[in-house]
Chains A and B, each alone.
Chain A
Amino acid sequence: MSVMQISVFLENKPGTLKKMTGVLAANKIDMRATSLAETKDFGIARLVVDDALSAVNTLKENNFVASLTPVLAIEIPDEMGGLDKLLTVFDEAKVNIEYMYAFSGGSNKDHAYMIFRVSDTKNAEAKLAANKSIKMLTQEDISSI
């Protein structure tokens, strides 16, 4: 039940991120979540969008290097200890988190949404699916948020 995240290579210089968002906007691609990993020399923009396949093709046509990476999108109750409960599941399954970022779910004020890139997506998926109190979002859920 993982969703597809787009990873885009960006040169570390002014205007490159804007160039990318410009391409997405012009092609009516709606972003759900974004995060930016940066080094001294370059960056990787990570996006979850309504239509990952068309977004990645559009970016490639516009001379970006972009690839698809499976990530987990999880709905977390917006309450004390919400994230902790979820991480307990990861911990017990010995799943290593490579990176994570949060995004808001529009009108749904009771929940927060988080994207996780983990070492073993299949294993994490299975463990999360077995836990009734955790909701994983599907690609369709993402598109309809």
Chain B
Amino acid sequence: MERYYQKDIECAPYEEIRKIQSEKLVKQVKHVWDNVPYYRKKMEEKGVTPDDIKSVDDLHKLPFLSKKDLRDAYPYGLLGKPLKECVRIHSTSGTTGKRVVAYYTQHDIDLWEDCCARAIMAAGGTDEDVVHVAYGYGLFTGGAGLHGGSHKVGSLTIPISSGNTDRQIMFINDLGATILCCTPSYAAYLAERFKEMGYGPDDIPLKAGIFGAEAWSEEMRADIEKTLGIKAYDIYGLTELSGPGVAFECSEQNGMHINEDHFIAEIIDPDTEEVLPEGSQGELVFTAVDKEAFPMIRYRTRDICKLTREKCSCGRTHVRMAKPMGRSDDMLIIRGVNVFPSQIETVLMNNGYAANYQIVVDRVNNTDTLDVQVEMTPEMFTDNVGEIEERQKKLVEGLKSMLGIKAKVSLLAPKSIARSEGKAVRVIDNRKI
């Protein structure tokens, strides 16, 4: 049975959602014009005033915001409310080296937690569940978001944060945790540890997992689901827009529903900045129409994906986004070819290797080199040298056909790649450009 946190809005007809979006957008543009000089200047430069924005149809007239704007306006340039009305900040993990500080009023926190509550209930959560939040707590939005969402649902919340894996396993077992929230790479690590300790999927009390904050493949999902005996749900979000819960998966596990009453999504051509029709692949752009303290308008996420309005059998009407291939920040350009770590992960897992890998890029004699390092596992090991080399060759061929470029494959000793408790470090780029 599908569960909803706010069924009326989650399943509202599209016309109604659009009406709500239009009303909120008009109000939000006025709010930003009056309170955020940085964005007002951008509007003036484009020759747009709040009077030009009468509905969602006028959204395309507004200027974009990018990560560069966030850096330029740091720390207070994009603040939409006086500090005395703000109650909290969060900050990005800085995996790409550019930290973003986002502000929240109590209203902003509430709507964010509502979004996370929708995600938890879509994953089957109720007030009878025990939600184990192993996302990092602190500046990172992961812990706080799912924690707040779990409270709204009324679940028993374990605010364990990340780290100390054996203690995590003890709590999950002893308290009978049913829903695990963490990054997919940490879920994979927990699964590995459970297996090492001799637990089969039926011995683990978990029934569902909500995993996000980094790109992961369908193969990795299948692996985690099998080892932990759970259904693994994807969740999407950005600190710039609040945090996790901007979009989430339902029981169909076929794309993530975007919380459209709060976030209007567009797909644009990243080069021409033109809005693309539904179903096209392009860069995801969000307008947060409800947020007061940090009101992002047409924020360019750099995530490449597709949107679909096809009917979803879960009953939700909100538009669905496909799993992004990866943030364009994660994308590597190797010998002129775009490579996403998630593509490499897919090939590895299809060839029977585990998700413990690292991608090392370097430049030797002006040519980029790609070294995919993967740990040897008992399943992939044999006493026969030729057989191991044959598998290695198959992997090289698989990578070549997926990526279009040749990669080297190095087999490493087990546990030689550091396990991550938060976002996994998959790429080591040694190129000095």
Interface digits, A14-53 against B, CB 8 Å rule (1 contact, 0 not)? 0010000000000000000000010101101010000000
A67 is an interface residue with CB less than 8 A from chain B: yes
A76 is an interface residue with CB less than 8 A from chain B: no
The answer to whether A7 touches B383 (Cβ under 8 A) is: yes
The answer to whether A41 touches B413 (Cβ under 8 A) is: no
B84 is an interface residue with CB less than 8 A from chain A: no
A113 to chain B, nearest CB (A): 20
**Residues of chain B at interface, number, CB under 8 A:** 18
Give complex CA distance A7, B385 in Å.
11
Residue numbers in B under 8 Å from A69 (CB-CB): 383
The answer to whether B383 touches A117 (Cβ under 8 A) is: yes
Known A9-B413, A10-B413, A11-B416; judge A67-B389 contact (CB<8 A): no
The answer to whether A37 touches B414 (Cβ under 8 A) is: no
The answer to whether A64 touches B413 (Cβ under 8 A) is: yes
Residue numbers in A under 8 Å from B376 (CB-CB): 9, 42, 65
Residue numbers in B under 8 Å from A37 (CB-CB): 385
Known A9-B376, A41-B410, A42-B388; judge A63-B383 contact (CB<8 A): no
- Residue of A whose beta carbon sits closest to that of B373: A11
The answer to whether A65 touches B383 (Cβ under 8 A) is: no
Residue numbers in A under 8 Å from B377 (CB-CB): 65
The answer to whether A67 touches B382 (Cβ under 8 A) is: yes
A47 to chain B, nearest CB (A): 11
The answer to whether A11 touches B381 (Cβ under 8 A) is: no
- Residue of A whose beta carbon sits closest to that of B388: A42
Known A11-B416, A41-B411; judge A65-B385 contact (CB<8 A): no
The answer to whether A16 touches B413 (Cβ under 8 A) is: yes
- Residue of B whose beta carbon sits closest to that of A69: B383
B73 is an interface residue with CB less than 8 A from chain A: no
The answer to whether A11 touches B383 (Cβ under 8 A) is: no
B392 is an interface residue with CB less than 8 A from chain A: yes
Residue numbers in A under 8 Å from B382 (CB-CB): 7, 67
Interface digits, A80-101 against B, CB 8 Å rule (1 contact, 0 not)? 0000000000000000001000
The answer to whether A42 touches B411 (Cβ under 8 A) is: yes
Known A7-B383, A37-B385, A41-B392; judge A63-B414 contact (CB<8 A): yes
- Residue of A whose beta carbon sits closest to that of B416: A11
B112 to chain A, nearest CB (A): 41
- Residue of B whose beta carbon sits closest to that of A63: B415
Chain A CB within 10 Å — which of B383, B392, B414, B415 has the most? B383
A4 to chain B, nearest CB (A): 11
The 6 closest A-B pairs by CB, nearest first: A7-B383, A69-B383, A63-B415, A65-B381, A9-B376, A11-B413
Beyond A9-B376, A11-B416, 16 additional pairs, beta carbon < 8 A: A7-B382, A7-B383, A9-B411, A11-B413, A39-B388, A39-B389, A41-B410, A42-B376, A44-B385, A63-B413, A63-B415, A64-B414, A65-B376, A65-B381, A65-B414, A67-B383
CB-defined A-B contacts under 8 Å, sample of 10: A7-B382, A7-B383, A39-B388, A39-B389, A42-B411, A60-B378, A63-B413, A64-B414, A65-B377, A67-B383
